[in-house]
Amino acid sequence: MIIYEGKSVFSGIAIGKLSVYKKNEQTVKREKVADVEAEVARYADAREKTIEQLQALHDKAVKEVGEAGAEIFEAHQLMVEDEDYIESVENIIRSQCVNAEFAVAETGDNFQKMFLEMEDEYFRGRAADIKDISERIINCLLGGGSGGIESDEPVIVVADDLAPSETVQMDKDKILSFVTVHGSANSHTSILAKTMNIPAIIGCPVPLTDEMNGKEAVVDGFEGKVYVDPDPDILAEKKKLLLKEQEKKALLQQLKGKENVTLDGQKINLYANIGNTKDLALVLENDAGGIGLFRSEFIYLGSDDYPTEDEQFAIYKQVAQTMAGKKVIIRTLDIGADKQADYFNLPHEENPALGLRAIRICLTRPDVFKTQLRAILRASAYGKISIMFPMIISVDEVKKIKEIVAEVKKELDEIGVDYDKNIELGIMIETPAAVMMAEELAKEVDFFSVGTNDLTQYTLAIDRQNQSLDEFYDSHHPGLMKMLKMVVDGAHKGGAWAGICGELGSDLTLTKEFLAMGYDELSVSPGRILPLRKIVLETNVGEYKKEKGLE
């Protein structure tokens, strides 16, 4: 047995034979041509064919991995049609009187180099995409097909690196796992692998020799290891793990695509909580109906200085576009207390959880607040974004916030920047004061989302960070349950919808209770969506209420 170690980009177990994938590298020769315009026309034809292939790949990927995973092929189509790229190829053909294949290869190399020299890691990652589209155009010029992998039985694909189009062309039923010698965790390959739910390991030094082809192997995506010719005890251990994984997956698969509706017809939205764009693959994989809480402060926490409007805009836009019209609730920054960023220079406080945090910082530093609001509003032109404000205690606060939002909208109108004029505004219910004012607050906003983590801490007067108080902490405290009912009733009376985005939302022992209370949405970590859906589908709310004497 030989063990190779790399970096896991998606967990899971795969057991099967290795299949070494070798690229169909085209050899391009430089040839003189007499009729340069005919060559330019041949290039135009190849471009058209390439676009058609990419469109087909896009449609295939949408079916297999969803809109987000398929986006790359739209991006590739744009690259094929990029004016600078086309101009460069045509210039080379005309000025050097050479064949189109050579001009494309030359342009591809130059553009790739340019991207590789860029400082931004994202753009460096795009060099692989340039290479991918250039090879595809050359393949079309040479009259080749769209490529693919040959294999009769499901295999573990081992490759140097895989271009996104290569992974999508492969027949998914025949692939157990991806293992690549190179590749980056940010590459579309790993994103696609994640979305496809296939264990994948990158940076793994498996030799790409013919002898490796057909060898028995185990990929352990939890450990980031590949066992080639595994010992019998390892094989037995991994088979057990695989069985467990398969049982879990089968259960969850059956629930994908189903509506969240109870036996007696009550519907509820099940959304996902995220902290950054890396979580998006999980959101799609687990079939979330939207994003109910994007903790935007993680953008600030991951930065050495205030993130600029454009940096934030790019992130919000990506989330909105990936969710393709599904609701994305962005919570404005909730810094302070347990989430500190040095550059905010917040004063030392005796009781930070009761101090300058969240919306209080935004209202005392309107410049920071407005930068974020501008970024969110600009991104709202690219999907269905809502804005949510944390740690609210009063109607006055909400009125002030709305004034600031109106100012930012006006500024954007003045410079003709597009945004969603009807963007939904909501607040988090995290303080007992907000619970008591639910109906009045509801009249001011479109929705509520209960932050049970903070609401519990402020209601029970127990620091959520202090583990030594665990014996006093009761997440099902009847007082808290009463509050949750008050919130949803107040919301509905005041004309707002209500959800829960704190951890309690994913407590499966309370799902029936939340349905009975009338909650419209639960937002939970992506992995909890399908287990929650299972309960919703099995619940009869009317009967539950009767049982509990609630009606």
| 295 touches, from Mg ion, ligand PEP, none (C-beta below 5 to 8 Å by class) | ligand PEP
Q: Which is nearer to ligand PEP, 193 or 274 (CB)?
A: 274
Task: Name the residue type at position 167.
Answer: T
Binding flag, residue 494, ligand PEP (CB under 6 A): no
Binding flag, residue 502, ligand PEP (CB under 6 A): yes
Q: Which is nearer to ligand PEP, 39 or 397 (CB)?
A: 397
How is the chain split among helix, strand and coil, in percent rounded to 5? 55, 15, 30
Structure tokens at 283: 């959101």
Please state the φ and ψ torsions of residue 72, each to the nearest 5 degrees.
-55, -35
Q: Which is nearer to Mg ion, 459 or 540 (CB)?
A: 459
| 452 touches, from ligand PEP, Mg ion, none (C-beta below 5 to 8 Å by class) | ligand PEP
Binding flag, residue 453, ligand PEP (CB under 6 A): yes
Helices 83-96 and 36-80 sit at what angle, rounded to 10 degrees? 160
Give yes or no for a contact between 289 and 499, defined as CB atoms under 8 angstroms apart. no
Binding flag, residue 285, ligand PEP (CB under 6 A): no
Residue from 447, 369, 441, 360 nearest 405 by CA = 369
Neighbours of 493 (CB within 10 A): 13
Give yes or no for a contact between 285 and 256, defined as CB atoms under 8 angstroms apart. no
Contacts of 131 (CB under 8 A, 6+ apart): 108, 112, 163
Contact string (CB under 5 A) for Mg ion, positions 419-458, x = contact: -----------x--------------------x--x----
Q: How far apart are CA 361 and CA 306, in angstroms?
A: 13
CB of 4 to ligand PEP, least distance (A): 39
Site for Mg ion (CB under 5 A): how many residues? 3
Q: Which of 8, 187, 190, 452 binds ligand PEP (CB under 6 A)?
A: 452
Q: Which is nearer to ligand PEP, 424 or 430 (CB)?
A: 430
Q: Which is nearer to ligand PEP, 12 or 451 (CB)?
A: 451
CB of 448 to ligand PEP, least distance (A): 12
CB of 540 to ligand PEP, least distance (A): 29
Contact string (CB under 6 A) for ligand PEP, positions 417-436, x = contact: -------------x------
Sheet strand arrangement including 13-20: 2-5, 225-228, 216-220, 13-20, 155-159, 175-180, 200-202, 7-10
Site for ligand PEP in 288-307 (CB under 6 A): 293, 295
Q: Which of 39, 220, 454, 520 binds ligand PEP (CB under 6 A)?
A: 454
CB of 455 to Mg ion, least distance (A): 8
| 398 touches, from ligand PEP, Mg ion, none (C-beta below 5 to 8 Å by class) | none
Q: How far apart are CA 57 and CA 148, in angstroms?
A: 12
Q: How far apart are CA 193 and CA 154, in angstroms?
A: 16
Do strands 447-450 and 225-228 pair parallel, antiparallel, or not at all (unpaired)? unpaired
C-alpha dist (Å) from residue 521 to 60, 431, 495, 516, 543: 32, 19, 15, 12, 21
Site for ligand PEP in 306-335 (CB under 6 A): 334
Tell me whether residue 362 is one of the annotated catalytic residues.
Answer: no
- Strand locations in 84-224, DSSP E? 155-159, 175-180, 200-202, 216-220
Binding flag, residue 475, ligand PEP (CB under 6 A): no
- Of the candidates 188, 348, 362, 492, the residue annotated as catalytic is 188
Q: Which is nearer to Mg ion, 451 or 499 (CB)?
A: 451
Contact string (CB under 6 A) for ligand PEP, positions 334-373, x = contact: x---------------------------------------
Which SS3 state, helix, strand or coil, does residue 152 take? coil
Which SS3 state, helix, strand or coil, does residue 404 take? helix
Q: Which is nearer to ligand PEP, 286 or 457 (CB)?
A: 457
Return the ∠ at Cα 332 (arms to 475 and 269), rounded to 5°: 55
Q: Which of 66, 164, 289, 451 binds ligand PEP (CB under 6 A)?
A: 451
| 125 touches, from Mg ion, ligand PEP, none (C-beta below 5 to 8 Å by class) | none
Site for ligand PEP (CB under 6 A): how many residues? 10
CB of 41 to ligand PEP, least distance (A): 58
Tell me whether residue 140 is one of the annotated catalytic residues.
Answer: no
- Of the candidates 140, 204, 362, 501, the residue annotated as catalytic is 501
CB of 505 to Mg ion, least distance (A): 12
Q: How far apart are CA 534 and CA 538, in angstroms?
A: 6
CB of 507 to ligand PEP, least distance (A): 12
Considering only 1-9, 247-255, 398-406, 450-458, which stretch makes contact with ligand PEP by CB under 6 A?
Answer: 450-458
Q: How far apart are CA 92 and CA 306, in angstroms?
A: 44
Considering only 45-53, 393-401, 402-410, 452-460, which stretch makes contact with ligand PEP by CB under 6 A?
Answer: 452-460
Do strands 447-450 and 497-500 pair parallel, antiparallel, or not at all (unpaired)? parallel
Query: Which residue bears the tokens 């945004």?
Result: 419
DSSP conformation class of 22 = -
Task: Name the residue type at position 331.
Answer: R
CA 536 to chain centre: 24
Neighbours of 10 (CB within 10 A): 22
Q: Which of 149, 320, 480, 501 binds ligand PEP (CB under 6 A)?
A: 501
Considering only 185-193, 226-234, 282-290, 445-453, which stretch makes contact with ligand PEP by CB under 6 A?
Answer: 445-453
Structure tokens at 496: 């707002």
Structure tokens at 45: 């034809």
Residues that bind ligand PEP (CB under 6 A): 293, 295, 334, 430, 451-454, 501-502
User: Which residues here bind Mg ion, judged by CB under 5 A?
Assistant: 430, 451, 454
Hey, which residues are catalytic here?
Answer: 188, 501
